[in-house]
Each structure stands twice: as C-alpha cells, then as structure tokens.
C-alpha cells in the first residue's frame, strides 16, 4: 500500500511555488520595474536545496509514487545548482535581448519541476508526465528569441522530434503495462523476475521503445540529430541549461528504470546499450572536431559525455551508479561555466560563438580566458579538474564490470576530444584578433556565478572524496 509522506514533495513544491510567484510578480513590473524576478527564482531554488539536504538519509520518504531517496535528492541538488547558475547567467541575456523576464524565469522553474519529478518518480506514467513537463518548457526556452529565425527553427525541430520520442516512450509504457499489469517500477520488476518474462517479445518491444525515448533525451546516437541545431539556435545560457539539467533528469530516470525495474533483463538490453554508448562517444567526438561554431562543438561534446554516462548505467554496479551521480555534478559545473562565458561574451548583434571570435581573448578579457581554459580542460578530462575524476570513475566502473573494450573506446574518444578543447585554448592565448569587434564587458553578478563554478570544478578534482562518499551513499536507495 502506498504511503503518503508530504515531506517527499517539498523540494518540488518549493520550485513550483517560486515559478508561480515569479509569474505573479511579473504583473507588477509595470509599477516596480526593478522587481527582482531572478532573486525570487533563486530563493525558491535555494529552499528546494535546503529541503533536499534536510531529507537526506530519511529512509526514502514517499508521497505515493514520488520518492525522496538519497539518489533523487542528490539529483535534486545538482538541478538546484544548475537552476541557480542559469538564473545568474541569464540576467544579462534577458536585459540585452529584451526577453520577457517573468515568462523566462517561470518556464525555467517549471522545467526544473519536471526534472525533479523525473528523478523522484517510481511509476512509469509519472516519469512520462514529468518528462513532458520538462520538455514543453525547454521547447519554449529554445525558441524564446522570437525575432531570430534560427531560434524559432531550432525550437520547432526540437518540438517535432521530441514529440516522436515521447510517443515511443509512451508506447513502451503501454507494452510493459499490457504484459505486467502495472506501471509501478517495483511491480514491473517483480513480475518480470518472478515469471521469467525477459524473453517475451512484448517485453522486449516495450524495453526497446523506452530505450529510444531515453536515448533521445540524453542525445545518444543515433537519436542525437536534434541536439546540434537546438543547441546552436537557443540562447547560449539556455543551451547550458539544456545540456546539463535535461541530461541529469533523463539519466536519473534512465538509471532508475533500467537498473531497478528492468534489471532482470540486463542480458537483453545490455548489448544494445553497449553499441549505443560506443557510437555516442565516437560520433560525438569525431564530428565535434570538424565544428567551427563553439556552441555546435560543445553540442557534440555533450553528446560524447552522454556516452560516458551510459558506461555507468551499463556497468550496473554500485561504482557505476555512484559514478553517474558524481559525473553529473562535475559536468553541470563545468558545462554551465563554459556556456555562461559564451552567453556573457555575446551581444544582441553578434552571438560571438564562432571559434574565431575567441582569438586573442586573453588580451581583451584575461579573466574570462582563464576561466574558460579551466572549464575546457575539465571537459577534456585534465587533472586536477572535476572532469578527470569523473571520467576516471566511469571508466573504472566499466572495467570493473568487464567492459574493457568499451572503456578503451571511451579513453580513446577522450584523448581525441582534447584536440578541439585545446584548439580553443591555443586560439585564446596564441592567436591575434582579426578585425572583428571585441566582445562586450560583463557584469559583476555574472562573474560571481563563474567564481562559484571554478572553485567547484577544482574542488571536485582535487578533493573528490566527500562528494564521492555522498554519491556512494545514494545508490543503495535507487529503487
């Protein structure tokens, strides 16, 4: 019988209430133009983070099909971090591009509500509803620059392909329900294990459709086609939000479904996931090398990082599960920092997202060049940054589970990716700037957000033990 502990949904309610308050406050901006909508959003996110910390270790408090186990609470904290940094980096973009602040922050917060519910849901139908809540908000944010054809086109492509992926996911749920008689993850897993149904064609079809839905959301090959165009067309700060928040929520739900309910079928889905992970790492890295747009290059980088995360799911051991959590935290800090710099250096007339725009950045913005260097080195997996420990952890999980070939592919892909990260570093320090105008100066608030990201990246790379312990303590409650 389901239990109803209201504490389990407090983190989600804090963010939802913040979204409603922001929308209400927007109506008063005519009288008080300086209404701090971003500050209201940060207060709601901070409240959600505090509630998640207080719920830590409470033996998985549940409100029906919503659980607040340590696994979901860790993801919540990552999403709170993603949300706060996105709000901080968004202030300049909103003012510069004339975006509707109330609409922007409200949609951002409601998207995070969907992300949190994806991580906390223990029922396939709730995961689907949460996925749609998240997706609809991200579609709108992608196309929020209505006066840019590229932005509208990116939003439309993302919406169209996302609708197909959602349909696949819903059909997968329908097949599993038809065979097991339930959408509860615990019940589905029990029925599959008890009745030895892992070879049932209907079950296999349902699992395959779920895999397609999840693979689309994390931009895994061959379901990655939307990613470069959507990332390129969206505002840079929204791209950073998509590449971190959406990936964290989708990976969390992916792990909960496949490592709990569908764990008895691991022999059936593991070979397919092996191929998907290998292709994702290879394609994301190889195609990324050929890009001349920094946003598109980081889009393919994000695809490759999705492949590294799949190693943790495929390992299906405690090390792999903990590696997923640590990797998501490290990747969120690193990628948001990189996209935050891209957003801050852009202008309404010029997005400044071409590789040549970063030539000689050390001479015009030495602080930003230094920060970007650390973020790029972390994405490439250089010590002593968070990216190095994160990659080492997922590769160790793959080796521990016997996936030596996949670990080797991951290491080689990581080595190749160093080329396009260091290419930007070389351009910032060793190339002369051409006739292009210098990027604009940035505000102190935005630099404050970057000042939070960099210590986080270095802390996770130099002193990772505490966060690794938290990640390890979270995986025992993944059901």
Query: Are 396 and 323 a contacting pair, CB within 8 Å?
Result: yes
pLDDT of 342 reads: 87
What is the reported pLDDT for 101? 85
- Residue 1's pLDDT is 46
d(CA 404, CA 398): 7
Structure-token match 């935005």, residue found: 446
Tens-digit pLDDT profile for residues 29-52: 655 456 688 889 999 999 999 999
Q: Are 51 and 33 in contact (CB under 8 A)?
A: no
pLDDT at 93: 81
Mapped onto helix, strand or coil, the DSSP state of residue 425 is helix
Between CA 92 and CA 101 the distance in angstroms is 11
Res 441: pLDDT:
63
pLDDT for 395 equals: 93
**pLDDT confidence of residue 63:** 79
pLDDT tens by residue, 160-219? 888 989 999 999 999 999 988 888 988 988 888 877 666 778 889 999 999 999 999 998
Residue 156 buriedness (CB in 10 A; 0-12 / 13-18 / 19+): middle
CA dist., res. 45 & res. 15, Å (int): 6
Distance CA 5, CA 1 (A): 13
Residues with Cβ < 8 Å from 363, sequence gap 6 or more?
A: 433
At residue 3, the pLDDT reads: 64
**pLDDT value of position 232:** 86
Per-residue pLDDT, 438: 56
Q: Are 431 and 376 in contact (CB under 8 A)?
A: no
- pLDDT the model gives residue 32: 47
| Count of beta carbons in the 10 Å neighbourhood of residue 271 | 11
**Which residue is it, tokens 């696994």?**
71
Half-sphere exposure of 86 (CA within 13 A, CB side): 31
Below-70 pLDDT ranges, the chain: 1-3, 29-35, 59-60, 196-198, 348-351, 433-445, 476-479
Residue indicated by tokens 């931009």:
219
Boundaries of every domain in the chain: 6-477
CA 237, 238, 241: angle at the middle one, nearest 5?
95
The pTM score is 0.93
């Amino acid at each position: 019988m389901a239990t109803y502990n209201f504490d389990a949904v407090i983190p989600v309610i804090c963010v939802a209430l913040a979204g409603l308050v922001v929308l209400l406050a927007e109506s008063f901006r005519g009288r008080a133009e300086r209404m701090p909508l971003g500050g209201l959003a940060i207060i709601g996110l901070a409240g959600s983070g505090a509630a998640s910390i207080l719920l830590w270790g409470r033996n998985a408090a549940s409100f029906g099909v919503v659980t607040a186990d340590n696994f979901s609470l860790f993801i919540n904290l990552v999403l709170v971090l993603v949300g706060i940094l996105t709000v901080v980096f968004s202030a300049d973009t909103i003012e510069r591009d004339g975006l509707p602040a109330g609409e922007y922050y409200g949609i951002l917060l409601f998207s995070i509500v969907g992300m949190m519910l994806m991580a906390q849901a223990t029922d396939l139908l709730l995961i689907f509803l949460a996925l749609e809540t998240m997706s609809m908000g991200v579609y709108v944010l992608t196309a929020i620059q209505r006066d840019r054809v590229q932005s509208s086109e990116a939003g439309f492509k993302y919406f169209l392909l996302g609708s197909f992926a959602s349909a696949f996911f819903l059909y997968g749920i329908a097949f599993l329900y038809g065979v097991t008689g339930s959408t509860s993850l615990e019940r589905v897993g029990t029925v599959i294990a008890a009745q030895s149904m892992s070879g049932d064609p209907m079950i296999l079809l349902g699992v395959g459709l779920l895999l397609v839905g999840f693979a689309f959301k994390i931009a895994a090959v061959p379901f990655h086609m939307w990613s470069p165009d959507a990332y390129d067309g969206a505002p840079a700060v929204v791209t950073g939000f998509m590449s971190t928040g959406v990936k964290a929520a989708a990976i969390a739900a992916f792990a909960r479904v496949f490592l709990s309910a569908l764990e008895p079928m691991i022999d059936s889905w593991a070979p397919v996931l092996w191929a998907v992970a290998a292709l994702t790492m290879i394609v994301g890295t190889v195609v990324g090398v050929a890009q001349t747009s920094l946003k598109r290059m980081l889009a393919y980088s994000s695809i490759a990082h999705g492949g590294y995360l799949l190693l943790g799911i495929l390992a299906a051991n405690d090390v792999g599960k903990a590696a997923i959590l640590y990797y998501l935290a490290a990747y969120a800090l690193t990628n948001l920092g990189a996209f935050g710099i891209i957003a801050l250096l852009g202008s309404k007339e010029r997005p400044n997202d071409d590789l040549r725009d970063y030539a000689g950045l050390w001479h015009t913005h030495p602080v930003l060049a230094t920060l970007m260097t650390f973020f790029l080195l972390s994405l490439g997996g250089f010590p002593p940054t968070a990216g190095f420990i994160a990659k080492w952890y997922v590769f160790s999980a793959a080796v521990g589970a016997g996936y030596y070939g996949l670990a080797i592919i991951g290491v080689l892909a990581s080595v190749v990716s160093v080329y396009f990260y260091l290419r930007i570093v070389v351009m910032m320090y060793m190339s002369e700037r051409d006739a292009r105008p210098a990027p604009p100066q940035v505000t102190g608030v935005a630099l404050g957000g970057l000042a939070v990201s960099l210590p986080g990246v270095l802390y996770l790379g130099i002193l990772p033990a505490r966060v690794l312990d938290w990640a390890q303590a979270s995986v025992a409650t993944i059901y």
